[in-house]
Structure 1
Amino acid sequence: MAGVDQPEPDLDLYYLSEVVTNKIEAQLGQSLIEVSPVSGGDINDARLITVQDGQQFFVKINEGPQAYPMFQAEARGLEMLRSAAPAEILIPDFIACEPAGEAAFLLLEYIQTGTPLSGFWPAFGRGLAKLHRQSNDQFGLDHANFIGRLPQSNGAHDDWPGFYTHERLLPQGKMAYEQTLLDLKDMQYLERLCKQLGDLYPTEPPALIHGDLWSGNYLVHTNGQAVLIDPSVAYSHREMDLAMTRLFGGFPEEFYRAYQESYPLDSGWEDRLPLGQLYYLLVHLNMFGTSYLPSVKRILKQF
């Protein structure tokens, strides 16, 4: 604005390539004045950027061959969650997603984070239960997406056992077998388990789930609300989200109590959690290697 002193840029732009910087500035209509690295998870680089008027934004950058479709799918997932999320849960605003030279970037609202206050976990549990009441005629989604950096198919199925078998367990199992992470006996156990899913799971309507709900994929807003990030959405079985929350340490018990009070689960849900965890363990096996193999084998033999 004429007559107003603008801050002098003072940043190390090696944190962002020139092409990414130029595209972000074009999207925001302002110059970047500060860039700093922040945690972006296992597969992306991430930056906190500040523009001339003082606003801050969060950007993820990835140079992998699937970076742009991966970020496009994430943006669609965020928009789905945003349109369905209850008052207890916040979803970051999506701003832009573009290819940029050999990379791609995803530009989002920056969330100022705080620490959980009294009542955070019950509110989070109630909010997730309300989100799970968003349903669909079939299990699946109208597009494929990703779980981590791996493709995730979401073909439509009328029942949960069919969806879980053909869109989740067998694709990851076959990927692990092709990488010699699973052997033929493991695949026989997996196929046997898939045939039992109709007896092991109670009938449930499809639920809109986050799809990758571990402790690294939620934030605590400074206003005390839960913020969901990095989704891998689908209309799925709602126990999948709960299974993932328990895979790497679990959430406090008050979260699960509040969920149960809001949207009770069928009896035996805790005994079924390993069934849901199997998918995520297969994903981790395919992404990170054999340290996850004992847990996979244990569940395959458990049912």
Structure 2
Amino acid sequence: MRGIPEAIHQRVQTLLQQQVSSSIIIKDFSFIAGGCINNGGKLSTSEGRYFLKWNDASKFPGMFEAEAKGLKKLSATQSIYIPEVIGVSEAEGYQFLLLEFIDQSSRSANYWKDLGQQLATLHRTSSLFFGLDHSNYIGSLPQTNATNSSWVDFFIHQRLQVQLKLAMQSGLAEKSLLRNFDALYIKLPSLLPEEPPSLLHGDLWSGNVITSHNEAPCLIDPAVYFGHREMDLAMTQLFGGFNAEFLEAYHEEFPLLPEFHNRIDLYNLYPLLVHVNLFGSSYLAQVNSILKRFV
């Protein structure tokens, strides 16, 4: 079939026959724009439509296995709509993920309020430690999740330092940036409040929030781990696209800690460093501006 590598076509056909119906037939595939890492699109079959995406397994080992685990973990909370995972596998150097196809509709009148309340419910799912029992990805970058009982320690060692090391190795950052971050680390225990871990989406920008067939919020492309819930909330403010009613509804369901808005930029150092490593040094200006405020 045009567009899908033959090895993937055959493996997906077999997977669908095992998971859905022994008589299912793949009819058509059409690419959907939007991803910069994967190939993906709508797979039409005799039994309905699915979303299929794939990439080079050697470039991003275990990416879709980790994403499938994250989607299932989010879905298990029954807090917010998450696409169903149909299957994940590899075929001749490719890896692929097959999901429920979300036929997007217009937003309901209560869309932002529902999203706020549902995210608050998700964040009430907790754990003994910050982190996760496996690593995953944020964008195309590996995200390590070694567990820690301290949020500040986890944030420093598993989030900021990992991205800084990568930026240094790529020649995107200078030693002066490391020194400024070292100074910040000393202050972080007094700047960031400790709170029990929350299950996070982990990459909560507006592009990863879509609308399901019933006009309700739906989350895609997670980078799941247990972290401070303010991380998810801060990222919703980084690139815009979230209605003010969203945070108001969240606060009513799970009250924000005092002075949350003063900590937003600190949390967003992580996604900004991720953007430095993915898209280049132009994002360093925002990073340096935040450091200047706190160091």
Q: Which TM bucket (shorter chain)?
A: over 0.9
The aligned counterpart of 1:166 is 157
Pairing partner for 1:61 from 54, 63, 67: 54
1:78 aligns with 2:71: yes
Counterpart-to-counterpart distance in 2, 1:292 and 1:124: 29
**How many matched pairs?**
288
State the shift of 1:105 in Å: 0.6
Residue identity in the other structure for 2:91: A
Q: In structure 2, what residue type is equivalent to 1:79? A: K
User: 1:14 is matched by which residue type in structure 2?
Assistant: R
Partner of 1:134: 125
> 1:133 touches 1:208 (CA, 8 Å); kept in 2?
yes
Do residues 108 (structure 1) and 102 (structure 2) align?
A: no
In the alignment, structure 1 residue 25 sits paired with structure 2 residue 16? no
List per-residue Cα deviations over 1:172-204 (Å, max 9, x = no partner): 011101111110000111121122111001121
Q: What's the CA shift for 1:64?
A: 5.1
1:205 aligns with 2:193: no
Which of 22, 30, 49 is equivalent to 1:36?
Answer: 30
The answer to whether residue 266 in structure 2 is matched with residue 275 in structure 1 is: yes
Q: Does 1:15 align with 2:3?
A: yes
Aligned to 2:171: 180
Distance in 2 (CA, whole Å) between partners of 1:124 and 1:232 is 18
Q: Tell me if 1:264 matches 2:255.
A: yes
Q: Kindly state the Cα deviation for residue 31 of structure 1 after the two structures are TM-superposed.
A: 2.4
Give the secondary-structure state (helix, strand or coil) at the position aligned to 2:188.
helix
TM-score by length of 2: 0.95
1:45 aligns with 2:39: yes
Check the 8 A contact 2:180/2:291 in 1, yes or no.
Answer: yes
C-alpha deviation, 1:266, in angstroms: 1.1
Question: What residue in structure 1 maps to residue 144 of structure 2?
Answer: 153
In structure 2, distance between residues paired with 1:276 and 1:41: 25
How far 1:40 sits from its partner (Å)?
4.5
List gaps (5 residues or longer) in structure 2.
18-23
Q: Secondary structure at the match of 1:222?
A: coil
> CA contact under 8 A between 2:132 and 2:226: conserved in structure 1?
yes
| Secondary structure at the counterpart of residue 283 of structure 1 | helix
Measured in 2, the distance between the counterparts of 1:31 and 1:66 equals: 30
In structure 1, C-alpha distance between the alignment counterparts of 2:123 and 2:59, rounded to whole Å? 29
CA contact (8 A) 1:68 1:98 kept: no
Q: Is the 8 A contact 1:40 1:60 kept in 2?
A: no
Question: Contact 1:212–1:230 at 8 Å: present in 2 too?
Answer: yes
Q: 1:186 to 1:68 in 2, by over 3 A?
A: closer
Report percent identity of matched pairs: 42
Structure 2 match to 1:3: none
Maintained 8 Å contact 2:41/2:53: yes
| TM-score, normalised relative to structure 1 | 0.92
Q: Distance in 2 between matches of 1:69 and 1:291?
A: 30
- Structure 1 counterpart SS, 2:2: helix
* AA matched with 2:52: V
In structure 2, what is the Cα distance between the partners aligned to 1:302 and 1:39?
38
CA distance in 1, matches of 2:53, 2:106: 23
Residue 68 of structure 1 and its aligned partner are, at CA, apart by: 4.5
- Asked whether 1:92 is paired with 2:83, we answer yes
RMSD between aligned alpha carbons?
Answer: 1.1
Partner in structure 2 of residue 255 of structure 1: 246
Deviations 1:249-280 (A, max 9, x none): 14110000000111111111111001111100
User: Structure 1: 5+ residue runs without aligned partners?
Assistant: 1-12
